Amino acid sequence: MIFDTGLTRSNLESFLHCTTPSAKSKFLPKSEIRNLNRLWHPQERENVEYFTLSDLWSSYDEWSAYGAGVPIMLNDNETLVQYYVPYLSAIQIFTSNSPVNSLREETESGDRDSFSDSSSNVSESDKLWRWDGCSSEDGGSEQDSGWHVNNRLGYLYFEYFERSTPYGRVPLTDKVKGLCGRYPGLMSSRSVDLSPASWMAVSWYPIYHIPMGSNIKDLSTCFLTYHTLSSSFQDMDPDDDINGAKRKRKEVDGISLPPFGLATYKMQGDVWASGNCGRDQEKLVSLLSVADSWLKQLGVQHHDFNYFTGIRRG
């Protein structure tokens, strides 16, 4: 069985292409352009495009329900389609506004998320503030995170780090719907208002392939993709890099968010790494390095990344 959609790309390129979300593009009213954070948007522009997080999540609806189909070329020149389901692995959203009021909400266990109140002490903005997160089951953080409040990084509005086993997770769209009830910014936030430090990671687990019957170890490979959520990178040329990873600005049907980082698990053969005359192997190494660098720069421990890469903590 041959699928024309996958013939012009290597298997790795096919996966990256088929799992890249694209959100509907909107234009910022000219009256609002002057109010943009100039540290995050230093270039003067007449037209500013952005997307809302709700439109981004919409691009995952079908994949969450049925899986994202990825055409894969096998060694015998036959092609099958492997389906992957996306799960929200991690997310951090930084904004220009203090989240003190918006995130003081009751959790299911009756505890409150605690923040430093910058209005109570003139030097508070120079201190580390901490969100004592709750468990993944009630939609908060899986870890404590300390951040300097500054103009460049912004304020942490929301973070989530999944720690459940793959079998205990719900697909990305269902997870986001469960979280947005208490954190409406997960739907209403605009990419143009988010700090360059805003990001998410999506874990992709294989569920089945068509036609069935192929017994190839690499078909059990799992992926972890990293995506920026900020419009700060949308002005980049297609050949520009984000920490060494090339990023396309947009596609015809919207703003595309290809991964700037990648990690894999259970990659046991050459299905994914043998394409492009060895360049796919180089790309895998490069994207893994970028993901590692990104997490280190933000000072976070990403459970799935540690697991995928064999890092065991505690």
Burial status of residue 194 (CB atoms within 10 A of its CB: 0-12, 13-18, 19 or more) = buried
> What percent of the chain is modeled with pLDDT above 90?
44
User: Mean pLDDT, the chain, as a whole number?
Assistant: 74
pLDDT at position 116 is: 26
pLDDT at position 45 is: 61
pLDDT at position 241 is: 45
Q: How many helices (H) and strands (E) does the chain have?
A: 8, 14
pLDDT at position 238 is: 40
Confidence band of 312 (pLDDT split at 50, 70, 90): low
Tally the residues of the chain: 314
- The 10s digit of each residue's pLDDT in 279-309 is 899 999 999 999 999 999 999 999 999 999 9
Q: In 229-307, where do the E strands start and end?
A: 241-242, 245-246, 255-256, 261-265
The span from the first CA to the last CA of the chain, in angstroms, equals 47
* Alpha carbon distance 163, 153 (integer Å): 25
- More confident call, 60 vs 4: 60
* Alpha carbon distance 108, 206 (integer Å): 32
pLDDT at position 279 is: 87
Is pLDDT above 80 for 1? no
User: What is the DSSP annotation of 124-151?
Assistant: GGGSEEEE----GGGTS-SS-EEEE-BT
92 and 189 in contact (C-beta within 8 Å)? no
Question: In a 3-state reduction of DSSP, which class is residue 208?
Answer: strand
User: What is the DSSP annotation of 187-198?
Assistant: HH-BGGGB-TT-
Confidence band of 194 (pLDDT split at 50, 70, 90): confident
**H/E segment holding residue 179:** helix 172-180
Q: Where do the structural domains in the chain lie, given as residue ranges?
A: 4-308
pLDDT at position 27 is: 72
With both helix axes pointing from N to C terminus, report the angle between 11-18 and 279-298 in degrees, rounded to the nearest 10: 40
Q: What is the dihedral of CA 150, 304, 202, 240, to 10 degrees?
A: 60
pLDDT at position 151 is: 54
Is pLDDT above 70 for 212? yes
* Contacts for 191 with CB less than 8 Å, ≥ 6 apart: 23, 50, 51, 52, 53, 229, 230, 231, 234, 255
Amino acid at 257: L
- The 10s digit of each residue's pLDDT in 215-265 is 677 788 999 999 999 876 654 444 444 444 444 444 446 899 999 999 999
Q: What is the dihedral of CA 271, 60, 33, 158, to 10 degrees?
A: -100
105 and 182 in contact (C-beta within 8 Å)? yes
- The 10s digit of each residue's pLDDT in 90-139 is 999 988 765 544 443 322 333 323 222 222 232 222 222 222 233 333 44
* Alpha carbon distance 284, 54 (integer Å): 30
CB atoms within 10 A of CB 109: 11
